[in-house]
Amino acid sequence: MTMTPEEKLTSLGLVLPTAPTPLAQYRPARLIGNTLYLSGQIPRNPDGSFILGRLGRDISIEEGYEAARNVGLQLLSVMKSVVGELSRVEAIAKVNGMVNAEPDFLDHAKVINGCSDILVEILGEAGYHARSAVGMGSLPLGVAVEIEAIVAVKS
């Protein structure tokens, strides 16, 4: 018997964070037909503070990976807040990962793997996606990563 995504989270000892409220004039998600567009999410500590730093200067690839994994859980939380049950996710169509990085940093993909890995762990085949992983000169509030996604939702 296959586990639901929520059962998978529980089996891994993971709890979805509360879906964050917007920091500006936008919505965290927009469902149009069967396509769910998720606004960029940024990594947060349990106390609500942000995970800050610049890859290649302040934080390691491993710390960046964990920050991206943190964002992956937030993306799942936002999905769940819109569609009710994560089993309604047909597929993660696209992930766009942005890394706050020094100009000579080359391992953007290794950082964004943190998000990709958690999506596949929790959603299985539906979690596999097309992806971009790019470096940025800066990100809002000095966070380490920002990640957005496009999701196909079952009717």
- Residue-wise pLDDT for 42-95, tens only, equals 999 989 899 999 999 999 999 999 999 999 999 999 999 999 999 999 999 999
β-partners of residue 150 are 37, 94
Comparing CA positions, the residue from 151, 97, 154 lying closest to residue 127 is 151
Q: CB–CB of 40/98 below 8 Å?
A: yes
Q: Where are the domains of the chain?
A: 5-15+30-153
pLDDT digits (tens, 9 = 90+) for 93-146: 999 999 999 999 999 999 999 999 999 999 999 999 999 999 999 999 999 999
- Contact between residue 136 and residue 101 where contact means Cβ atoms under 8 Å apart: yes
The reply to whether CATH 3.20.20.70 applies to domain 5-15+30-153 is no
Mean pLDDT of 2-29: 92
pTM over 0.85: yes
Give the pLDDT score at 27: 94
Asked if residue 24 has pLDDT above 90, the reply is no
pLDDT of residue 23 exceeding 90, the answer is: no
The residue among 99, 96, 78 whose CA lies nearest residue 31 is 78
Which tokens in the block code for residue 66? 């964990």
Query: What integer pLDDT is reported at residue 127 of this predicted model?
Result: 98
Q: Note the pLDDT of residue 99.
A: 98
